[in-house]
Amino acid sequence: MIATGLPNDDGYVVAAYLFFLALLLVYVVIMAVRLSRVERDLVELTRDE
């Protein structure tokens, strides 16, 4: 089942770990956007008061 002539394994290992990091990064960015939205809302509410 093992295929021959494949690219070096290093690339696959780097790709797998980089994908995991990218997934985490995307999640952190989404959370940061949400947090900034809440902050904006809070500023708006305190201004209204």
Partner 1 sequence: MRTLSILTVVTLVTAYALAFFYAPMDAVEGLRQKIFYLHVPLALVALGGFVAGGVLAIQHLRTRDRKWDLRSYVAIHMALIFGIGTLVTGSIWARAAWGHWWLWDEPLLVSFLIVFLLYACYQPLRFAIEDPERQARYASVFAIVAGVFVPINFAAVRFAQEHTHPRTLSSSHNLPGPAWLAFFVALAGMVLLYVTLCRYEIAAKNVRFAMRRLRRRLGEDVVAGRSAAPQ
For binding to partner 1 (CB under 8 A), which residues are involved? Answer: 1-3, 6, 9-10, 12-13, 15-17, 19-20, 23, 27, 31, 34-35, 38, 41-42, 45, 48-49
CB of 37 to partner 1, least distance (A): 9
CB of 29 to partner 1, least distance (A): 13
CB of 39 to partner 1, least distance (A): 10
Q: What angle do CA 41, 35, 24 make, to 5 degrees?
A: 160
Report the sign of the C-alpha dihedral through residues 32, 26, 28, 10, in that order: negative
The shares of helix, strand and coil residues in the chain, as percent rounded to the nearest 5, are 80, 0, 20
